[in-house]
A = this chain, B = another copy of it.
Amino acid sequence: MNEATREMLMEVSVATLATALFKRGLRHQVIQGVKPLGWKGRNMVGPAFTLRYIPAREDRNSLTVFRNPEHPQRVAIETCPAGHVLVMDSRKQADAASAGDILVTRLMMRGGAGVVTDGGFRDAATIAGLEMPAYHTRPSSPTNLTNNEAIAINEPIGCGDAPVFPGDIIVGDADCVIVIPAGIADEVAAEATEMTVYEDFVVEQVKGGAGIIGLYPCTKDETREAFEAWRKTQNR
């Protein structure tokens, strides 16, 4: 992905991005129900690399399957490109784990930008202590074999009721994770950056006692002028 875009996306909120996508008619791009394990104080940004799970059939999911070097879950971890975010469609099923600390650590060592599942991680407390961002719905100790079989890599998937296509840009902050369609990531990043400048101005005004009518959104010339003046002082 475009490095300037990545840098911009590190500095904006998912809320602002959600509004930028809403303007474009995209209303369902936030991955519902996930939260960060141990918020690290910086956004997660990267193109999506996907893994899809289906319900586990018992005869295909004994512990011995992990001895197979071609097992899709293991292959996903070992082939996810550096700088990418591994996004797992776990069918919103968190009664068993999507992965654990060993695999997530390996992904981090390989340069992964982050990992998201709409299920849950085992060893969640350990994952929360790693440097790489991770998002899930809740801790879940049972092995994924219990009810999820990793079946396919880098297909279009759903995750938390959001559509995710390989290469879409994934951004996570302290609150949520959003999926930006690859083709509009650059323009959305730029627009969100602009919006953020204005929002920062608004916050400062509101903390100074200003009301929101006419200020947020801006509907008055004088407010626009005050913003432009403030902006110059900020070099933004």
**A134 within 8 A of partner (CB):** no
> How far is A217 from B59 in the complex, measured between Cα atoms in Å?
19
**A1 within 8 A of partner (CB):** no
Q: A69-B214, A207-B109, A217-B66 are in contact. Are A124 and B57 (CB under 8 A)?
A: no
Are B176 and A149 in contact (CB-based, < 8 A)? Answer: no
Copies in the complex: 6
Binary interface encoding of chain A residues 32-71 relative to chain B, with 1 for a CB under 8 A from any of its CBs, else 0:
1101000100000000000000111111100100110100
Number of interface residues of A (CB under 8 A): 87
Chain B neighbourhood of A230, CB < 8 A:
none
Are B217 and A67 in contact (CB-based, < 8 A)? Answer: yes
Are B163 and A55 in contact (CB-based, < 8 A)? Answer: yes
15 cross-chain CB contacts under 8 A: A19-B143, A23-B63, A27-B58, A27-B146, A54-B156, A69-B213, A74-B213, A102-B202, A105-B203, A106-B206, A123-B175, A141-B175, A141-B176, A149-B163, A151-B155
